[in-house]
Structures are given as C-alpha cells and as structure tokens.
Amino acid sequence: MSDELLGTGYIVPRALTIAREFRGLTRTELARRANVTRQTIVNLETGETATPTRVTVEMIAEALDVLPQLLGEEPTPPPPVEILHFRGGARVTARSSAHLLARASVYGKVTDYLAAHCSRLPPDAFAKVDPSGDIEDVAARVRRAWGVGADAPIHSAVRLLERAGAFVGSFEGGEKGVDAYSWQSSRPLILCNSDRESPTRVRFGLLHEAGHLILHRGRETGDKQTEEEANRFASAMLLPRRAFWQEFPRFGSRLNWAGMFEMKARWGASVAAIVRRAYDLAIITPGQYKTACIGLSANGWRKREPGEPDVAEKPELAPSIAAMLAKHRPLTRELGLSPKALSELVNADESALIPPQNTVVRLKSPRRPS
C-alpha cells in the first residue's frame, strides 16, 4: 500500500526536536535509524514540511521509542538553562546540554502526570526551609525538619529527598563532567548520572543538588561560590559537624586511612569527602590535606575508592507510582512513550509498565493547529 493511501500525519517541530535530543541523537543519526533522509528531519524540525506521510511519522516515532501522538503534541517546555543546577567537573558541551534539557522536558512531563494521578505524594519540604544564615546551620535545620536527627547517618539519600517531596531520577550516556542536575518545577526534580563508578559520589551529588535547590532558589549557579556552597551543604548533611568531630580518626600528624575507611562504611561518604570535611572543619592542616589529596590520586581512588557499595541508590517514588498506575490505566499510551523509554526514564521495570490488555482507550488523532 502506498504512503498516499495511508494518509498524512502531523508533527510539531519542537516536539520532534525534543524527542530527538532526549534520545541523544543528531539529525543524521535519527535519519539513519528511521530510514529517511536527513533533509526530511531538517524540514520537519524547521516546519518546512507540515504534513508528512503517516508512514514517515510512524518510522520516526519507532526510531525514537515514542508513540506517534507524542510528536503531534506541544511538548512540555524545558526549564530555562539558567535555573538548571549542574554538578560536575567540566564544562557541559552544547550537545550534552541539549540532551539534558530535553530529558528535563520529558521527565517534567512524566512527573507532572504522576503527581496529578497520585493523591498521596509527600508535600514539598524544600520550600519550607529557611536558607538564610550559616550553611552548617541550614543543614542542621534540614536534618531536624526531615527527620534524620542531628548526628545520625543518612542511610538513603534518595529516600530522604523523595520523602521531602522531590522526584529523583537518573540518566545514562556518559555525559562528561555532569554528575547530576536539578531544577525547581511544580516540585523539586533531580536527575543523577547512573554511569558514575562511585555510589558514594552519587549520594554526595544528590545532596549537592538539594543544596542548590534550597540555597539558590531562582539564582543561576555553576560559578565557584555556588558550587562551594552546595558542596558544603552536602558535606554537612552527610557528615554532621558534632558527630564528625567526635569520630574523625586522629593519629598524630599522620593520616589514619584505615580509620577513615571505617567512617566511610558507617556514614556512606567517600574518603575524599571525609578528608575535605576534616580540612573545612580545621581538624587537619593544609599540609595534611595536600598529602591526603596526593595519596588519593596516587592510589587511583579519584574515580572509585575501595569499600564502595555494590550498587548506587535507586529512585523509588517515581517507579512505584508508575507501576501502580500502569495496572489501572494505559500509562505509556497516555504519555506517548514506549514501555522501554518510560522504564529508562523513571527507573521502573519495563514489564510493570506494559499497558493492560483489557483497557480500551480512544486516543485523539494529532491535529494541526488552526
């Protein structure tokens, strides 16, 4: 049957661009996957072609792991790049930035849907925190308000943030220089890099992002000052001052590596973070701190230290809500994502997101705006 007999479809240019960047593809790569020309993709994204054939729409949707109707709907706008908080050690490339922004757009759409269909979400406790004053005091107030206690280890950073009203997700793809990023939407949203080799670094990154969301509301971040402030907040959350003073292993002028690894096991913080915390609290001298940094590098512990947990913490809130909703409604069809794409986005088991076979839903055909 010819394309003409199958009729025409409709693609919103910005929806196609966001879907493509969400998958981390260039126009050439998408064209190759969809078995169309690059010029076809260019024309659709620029609006030069307004009515592609329905077969073309379906091939492009399949290549992107989305449903055709997603490409015919106005997308959720990505957050302004100036309010995104990136944690990492290198400048974000233009391609990485586009991918992360597109992922934020799709993740925002999904979490808005999940929040709208779940009546028992924790309230946003981030907004209730007074960010004024010394960062140590802010972190202490957060610990008390969020039920951690003054001197207890945080057993799960993900669970702590989710109970405080945030949606936590992850992303893959080896985005260089990006450990995590966050932004304030209808509620706090945090995405962390699951490709990182150090689960303790992931924990620190999550609390670093919480620091941005609490300390830097509405402010552009990424400069040295805001990064240091978020780092100090994460350190104070993971390693509260009074307990740290009591437990840090002192061994004269020499560094007690064995004692610091014991602290790591108890507190879930990297030895690198423990060393830095000891320096910030003036427990060790600048010379000892320099020696410790040299030791970390010489032993190859910058990327992954001994004593790391087997796996990083996983999001719990979004996948549990998604799995619950998928039992009663055609979740993937309503969101316009394949089960595979949705499972990757919310970290849920793909089999739990398969639409119920006995659910019949009438989907509106995408219509061109009048």
- As to burial, measured by CB atoms within 10 angstroms (0-12 exposed, 13-18 middle, 19+ buried), residue 158 is buried
Residue 123 near residue 281, CB atoms below 8 Å: no
What pLDDT was estimated at residue 82? 64
Average pLDDT over residues 294-298: 95
What pLDDT was estimated at residue 264? 97
What pLDDT was estimated at residue 363? 42
Average pLDDT over residues 324-338: 91
pLDDT tens per residue, range 225-280: 999 999 999 999 999 999 999 999 987 778 999 999 999 999 999 999 999 999 99
Whole-prediction pTM value? 0.88
Residue 289, pLDDT above cutoff 90? yes
Residue 192, pLDDT above cutoff 90? no
Residue 10, pLDDT above cutoff 90? no
Q: Where do the domains of the chain lie, and which CATH numbers do they carry?
A: 3-71 (1.10.260.40), 81-298 (no CATH), 317-353 (no CATH)
DSSP annotation of 26: -
pLDDT tens per residue, range 25-79: 999 999 999 999 999 999 999 999 878 999 999 999 999 999 999 999 999 888 7
Phi, psi dihedrals of residue 347, rounded to the nearest 5°: 65, 35
What pLDDT was estimated at residue 58? 94
